[in-house]
Chains A and B, each alone.
Chain A
Amino acid sequence: MVIVAAVAALATRWPIRVVDIDNVMLRVVLPATLAFVLAFAPRPRSRVGRIARELTVLGLCAGMFAGDHLPLMLACYPLLLMVAVALGESRHATLLWGDR
């Protein structure tokens, strides 16, 4: 999913001019790399931790398309963690993310 999102984000900016390469690196390659590393990071022990990780990867994928709104998305990260806690505490979460 990260690779698909990164390719799609690069496609929306194609053709990439040399003068824009720093912009692409900051707004697409950096979030994609972080998402990729996070996706393969050791599995968090808690359910909320696992949900937070998956939502963060999703958020980073969305961030590749956010353009100048990326800092705003970063500032809203606590909302994502709030959603992770809400999902993790719900009864239905065990079906998708396990018991603990």
Chain B
Amino acid sequence: MSGTLLTADEWVALQRAVLLAGPLLAAIALLLIYRPRPREAVAAMVAFLWQLPALLLLQLLAAQFHWWNFAGEDDMIVGLPIDVWIGWAIWWGPVVVFANRWLTLPLLVVLSVLIDLATMPWLTPLVELGPQWIVGDAVAVTLCLAPGLWMARLTRDDRSPKRRAMFHVLGWGGYIVLVIPISVLSYLGAPLGSFYHWPQGLLEWCLMAIGLLLLFVGVAATIEFARVGDGTPIPFDPPKRVVTSGPYAFTANPMQIISAFFMAVLALYAQSWGLAFIALMFAIFDSVYATWYNRANIALAMPQPWSDYRMAVNEWRLRWRPHIPSAAEVTISPSGPARTVWNRVWPALSQRLAGSFVVDSQPRAQFSRLIYRRPDAGVEDHGINAAARLLEHGPLPLAMLAWLLRFPYLGGAFQRLSWLTIKLWRCYAGVQ
């Protein structure tokens, strides 16, 4: 086929062009037919944004396990043609999301798999398939298509903000540790090993520790958006209220600050001027556009809460102690191990905490051992999470410990651990 009319290089070029133009035309046609509502458009965009890092990760896995190989030399990133990458992201992003109006999600996944199975063997000379390519296709569906569609569905229906936030954390993580470094280093012709290597020496270990700390605070801030604000960090899917708790009690722009600093840390780690330039661009975006966006949108939508909050919390400076304007309602069980610990710790601890507390005690049959409430801020937590909320009234290091205690999955593990400790305490003390 490739030897008759066109040379192999021409076939490759033609296939690459079609694999970009096809999805692009399909997306535009569906856009015109579908005329999406704002949330549907955001869902399509979210799916597209998910696909870019996911497909890049898939390509790294495909290269590692020899699932397939792309021909071509120009405009490639880690062996993946950029046009195929974008076309694929449009195909499994907006096109599939728009098609969801007529077809169910399982049917879309099945159809996509069938299209892959039918077309992949015919994509020579652009795609050279390895013996295990079907495994690669299954991984592609699991890693890229299905999560992207799920995330888009949740976004469209405005459901499960915690799950959406988890997807945004993973997706944004993919951008800052995969898409951006790989794209920049590939563009500059620098070896990827300058970034992807184990730390060597004290400086690199320190940079890695700082990077992980920044990521941890960024994740904590994203989760706070979802838990308290029922929204996500992306401007088109914002929280439903002004979030003033968690990291937002210390600074108004934790995620933006962290993005810029994290990029700067990556630049130092990779010793790349290109990544330093990206860090600068992040800083410009965050300090100018994000600031304007907050002022123009949040301040207009929720003027009084935003004004009150901004009077106390700076956008770019960290407070040492949190801004907590209202009294926290704390309910503690009247007896038992939690009460014993409370009686010992609270008198000394409360001296060091910011804000005021209304402490109440009720029989345990009706509630958890410890409950923390701040109705005006939309905060209510029970058990270990409630204890962590109390620590958030403390200075920054104590608050960071609290964010660790409330961290997804880790918080649940701590809760189970505390339950086990209480059980053991009861056995030891002979209490039923």
Contacts and interface: CB of A to CB of B under 8 A. Distances in A.
A95 interface: no
The 3 closest A-B pairs by CB, nearest first: A78-B285, A22-B16, A25-B17
A20 interface: yes
Contacts of A37: 28, 31
B28 A79 contact: no
B20 interface: yes
20 contacts: A19-B7, A19-B13, A21-B13, A21-B17, A22-B13, A24-B17, A25-B20, A26-B20, A29-B21, A30-B20, A30-B24, A37-B28, A37-B31, A46-B296, A46-B297, A48-B292, A48-B296, A75-B277, A78-B289, A85-B289
B103 interface: no
A88 B20 CA distance: 35
B284 interface: yes
Contacts of A71: 183, 187
Nearest to B126: A22
A18 interface: yes
B20 A78 contact: no
Nearest to A42: B38
Nearest to B291: A85
A77 B408 CA distance: 34
A3 to B, nearest CB: 15
Interface of A: 18-26, 29-30, 33, 37, 46, 48, 71-72, 75-79, 81-82, 84-85, 88-89
B135 interface: no
A72 B281 CA distance: 11
B281 A79 contact: yes
Nearest to B90: A30
Contacts of B28: 33, 37
A33 to B, nearest CB: 6
A30 B183 contact: no
Contact of B281 (A75, A84, A88): A75
A77 B187 CA distance: 17
Nearest to A89: B292
A18 B83 contact: no
B45 to A, nearest CB: 12
Given A22-B12, A22-B20, A82-B285, 20 more contacts: A19-B13, A22-B13, A22-B14, A22-B17, A22-B81, A23-B74, A25-B17, A25-B20, A26-B20, A30-B20, A30-B86, A46-B296, A71-B187, A75-B277, A75-B281, A76-B281, A78-B281, A79-B284, A84-B289, A88-B292
A20 B13 contact: yes
Contact of A81 (B12, B16, B183, B288): B288
Interface string B1-27: 000001101101110110011001000
A78 to B, nearest CB: 4
Given A22-B13, A25-B16, A25-B21, A85 B288 contact: yes
Nearest to B274: A75
B282 interface: yes
Most buried by B among A20, A25, A89: A25
A19 B6 CA distance: 9
Nearest to B81: A22
A33 B24 contact: yes
A89 B291 CA distance: 13
A30 to B, nearest CB: 7
A18 B24 CA distance: 20
